[in-house]
Each structure stands twice: as structure tokens, then as C-alpha cells.
Amino acid sequence: MTFYRLTGILLLVFLIVQGCKSSEEFTGFSYDPEGVTETTTKKIQPQYEHAFGITADGVWLSNEFDGARLNNFYQLNDTLYQAVISPENAPINNSPWYAFKAWADQDTTVWVQLYYEDGEHRYVPKISHNKTDWTPIEDKNYRVNHQNGTAQLQLQLTKEPLWISGQELRTQDWFNQWADSMAQQSFVKQQTIGYSHQERPIRRMTITEVPEGEDPGVVIITGRLHPPEVTGQMAAIAFIEELASDSDLANRFRQQFEIIAYPFANPDGVQNGHWRHNAGGVDLNRDWKNFNQPEPRAIRDDLLELLDGNPNSKVYYGLDFHSTNENIFYPINRDIETFPEDFTYQWVDELVKAFPDTKFTVEPFDTSSPITKNWIYKTFGADAVTYEVDDNVDRQKLREVSQKSAQIIMRRLLEEKSENDN
Ligand SMILES: [Zn+2]
């Protein structure tokens, strides 16, 4: 062996080792805080639930309801009150959730400034008089200060409470009602598969009409790992409703496929009005390698048990629903072999053509990060996508896009399965 050949081989070995190393050393995306992949339980700052009153003025704010976030309230000057919003722990991604109710002893109009510790204003306020129906605040009642990351809201207060929230309030009760109504259908089954840090149930929803003895294709759905990501949950719900609909396509799909869904995967975070984390102070979409937290662990164990119990089933696809500041799909890098091959790129391409006036971005990633989608790929070899919905998308458009996505995916998966079965 010549010196040059030996050097060449050593160089090759070095490059391979480096290559493997770099793909194992994921430490966070550009927007993640430092240490995000350190997923052992951390201390969180509990939110003290009570009504905050400026008694001289008879103006009141309160966080005494599920999903609320308000940490302090006081008068800043003659014309402005300040609501302080703090995260469950820090450092943390900038998704500062807030939700509170407000009222006054006598009818009055006030300006309230939202001031965030460890964050900057992000969510356009939604207003409700009954905690169920929400409308975005009117422009004339809302101003954002991009220099200091605050926002000011003008509120007309009466004795009746007014609810103010970063997005529509979609708490565990709301989700359970929806899930229970879905489970009225014979082909939808629900089960509690584990418990969160604070002992709230994690529910699985199974949707299928595959005849006994036949081999189902499997689609895995996860959602609401991040509490404020309400538009992602709305998309997941519209998507699941389409899979459970009475259309000819959905009926055929359920004859061939089993949908295994965990659409409300971080109940503690939602109920406590968290910005990002579970009650263990951890980003649950960074724990799919270490599984230090009970929520991803419960989902992993449940899926492995279900699929081990039915060795003839085959996972075809995974979708993990989230929200951000745009509609964006994160597929797996094209040069990585998945089953089915290139599936995300193909259906997203069709979706984009169906909505020529809507902006969608596609940003591929490698599989090094410890996120849900990558665990699905690494465990089952299946293709999977992180489906991110714009925070500010029109809610009707959101539903239409989600239904269309479900239709395209059902049709294409039926084609894939028919090819695969033959
Ligand atoms: Zn997210």
C-alpha cells in the first residue's frame, strides 16, 4: 500500500466519521434557545391564579380559567395599564401566549399594554364575550411597538367579562367535546394511552374500517405539542374530519387504512397557558430521541405496542401539525430514501396548484433533529411531514386547505397501497 493510498483511505474514514458525527450533533434549529435538546425535566414557574384589581379605578383582569396566561397587572401611568406575561421557564422560543378576562365596576374604556418577559409580542389579540366565539381585535384598538416588543389594546369594559386571548381558546374541554362527538361514529375509537406530567390523560383516536384479517396501511397524526399553536390544531381537526367524512374517497380510504391520531399531545401546556413547553419545562418536539418526558414516551410506547401487535400493518405516512408565521411544510430531504418515496413533495405540489393565490413554502431538512416526524421515519421508514400553518391565516381558508390536503393524501395513499399490495 502506498503512502498516498493510505492517506486517501484515512481521509475517507475521517470524512465518514465526520459525516456521521455532524448528523448526530443536532443542538437546535436557528430559532431554538440554547440547550433545547437537553430534555430532562426543568423547574417551571407556576402561574398564580387570581384576579388583579386596580381598585381605585374598578378595573379588573383575571387568569382564573383553563388556558389563561397573565402574571401581573398594574397601572403604568394616567392613561395606560400594563399586563405582564411571563413564560413557564426560560430560555424559550418566542411564542408568548396570553389569555385573560377583563371587566370593570362601571363602564369604561381603557388602554392595556401587553409586556412580555423573555419574549416579544406575536399573536394578534382575539376578543370574545362568551369565551367561545372569537374575533380579531379591530385595528383602531390595537397598536404594536416593534422597538420594545409590546402591544397596546383598547378595551371597552363593562361588568360582564370580556375575554382577550392570543388565539381562539381551545382547551382540553373543547378538544374532548370534539373528540367525543367524533367517537359517536362506529369507526372512530378513543382510548387513554398514558398521562402527562400533571396526570392529564393523553388520548388516542383510531379511525378505520379495515375488515378483520386484512392488512391495513397506517397513517400517524400528532398535534398540539406546542400549546399556542391553535391554527395547527384547527388544521389537524379539519384534516381528521375529512378522513372521517362520508365522501366516497374517505369511505374507500377507511377500508384500506387505519388512522392513529394523538391530536392533543401537550394537555398540561395548554391548560396552564404555556408558551411552548410541557409541565416538565421541555419542548416536546425535541424529545423524540431521549424520551425524557411522559407525553412523547406514552405516544411512542403506544404506537410500538399497537404496531407490534399487528405485524401485517404498514406505516405509510406521518403528519405532525404545528403553527408558525407562514404556511410551511418541512419534508424529509429528497436524497433520503423513504416509503413511499417522495410522497410529501408530490402531494404538496398538487396542493399548491389547487390554491394558486395562497403562499406555501417547502423547506426540506435532514433527519438529525429529535422531532416527531424524524422518529416516525427512523422507526418505520415511512415518509412524514411537519405541517405548519400560518398564525394569521383566514380560518375558512385554513379549513379548505386542510380538507384538500386530506383528499389528495387519501387518493395518493390508496394508489400507493394498491401498487404495494400487488
Ligand atoms: Zn410547533
For every residue of 180-197, DSSP letters joined together read HHHTTSTTEEEEEEEE-T
End-to-end CA distance of the chain: 51
pLDDT score, position 5: 54
Q: What is the pLDDT along the chain (422 residues), one digit of tens a residue?
A: 444 555 555 555 544 444 444 456 799 999 999 999 999 999 999 999 999 999 999 999 999 999 999 999 999 999 999 999 999 999 999 999 999 999 999 999 999 999 999 999 999 999 999 999 999 999 999 999 999 999 999 999 999 999 999 999 999 999 999 999 999 999 999 999 999 999 999 999 999 999 999 999 999 999 999 999 999 999 999 999 999 999 999 999 999 999 999 999 999 999 999 999 999 999 999 999 999 999 999 999 999 999 998 889 999 999 999 999 999 999 999 999 999 999 999 999 999 999 999 999 999 999 999 999 999 999 999 999 999 999 999 999 999 999 999 999 999 999 999 999 88
Ligand 1 mean position, distance from CA 396 (Å): 21
Residue 102 CA to ligand 1 center (angstroms) comes to 29
Q: What is the pLDDT of residue 327?
A: 98
Residues of the chain with CATH 2.60.40.3120: 51-165
Ligand 1 geometric centre to CA of 323 (Å): 6
- According to CATH, the topology of domain 172-421 is Aminopeptidase (3.40.630)
Expressed in angstroms and rounded, the spacing between residue 1 Cα and the centre of ligand 1 is 53
| pLDDT number for residue 186 | 98
How far is residue 339's CA from residue 266's CA, in Å, rounded to a whole number?
28
User: How much distance in Å is there from the Cα of 334 to the middle of ligand 1?
Assistant: 22
**195 CA distance to ligand 1 centroid (A)?**
21
For residue 318, the tally of other CB atoms under 10 A from its CB is 25
CA 108 / ligand 1 centre spacing (Å): 38
- State the greatest distance between any 2 C-alpha atoms of the chain, in Å, as a whole number: 93
| pTM of structure | 0.94
The partner residues of 362 in beta bridges, in order of sequence, read 329
What's CA 159's distance to the chain center, in Å? Answer: 35
**Angle subtended at Cα 322 by Cα 321 and Cα 324, rounded to the nearest 5 degrees:** 150
State the fold for domain 51-165.
Immunoglobulin-like (2.60.40)
At 25 the pLDDT is 79
Are residues 306 and 236 in contact, defined by beta-carbon separation less than 8 angstroms? no
Give the Cα separation of 331 and 374 in Å (integer). 10
CA of 412 to the centre of ligand 1 (A): 26
- Work out the angle between the directed axes of helices 294-308 and 372-380 (0-180°, nearest 10): 20
Do the Cβ atoms of 292 and 36 come closer than 8 Å?
Answer: no
Q: Which three cell numbers stand for residue 34?
A: 440554547
Ligand 1 centroid to Cα of residue 283, in Å, is 9
CA distance 263 to 321: 8
Q: What SS3 class is residue 58?
A: coil
Grouping H, G, I as helix, E, B as strand and the rest as coil, residue 383 is strand
For ligand 1, the distance from its centroid to the CA atom of residue 422, given in whole angstroms, is 38
From the CA of 2, how far away is ligand 1's center (Å)? 54
Among 345, 332, 320, 321, smallest CA distance to 412 is for: 345
Q: How far is the CA of 319 from the centre of ligand 1 (A)?
A: 12
Q: Where in the chain is the domain with CATH 3.40.630.10?
A: 172-421
Between CA 12 and CA 345 the distance in angstroms is 33
Tell me phi and psi for residue 323, to 5 degrees. Answer: -130, 150
Find the 140 Cα to ligand 1 centroid distance in Å.
30
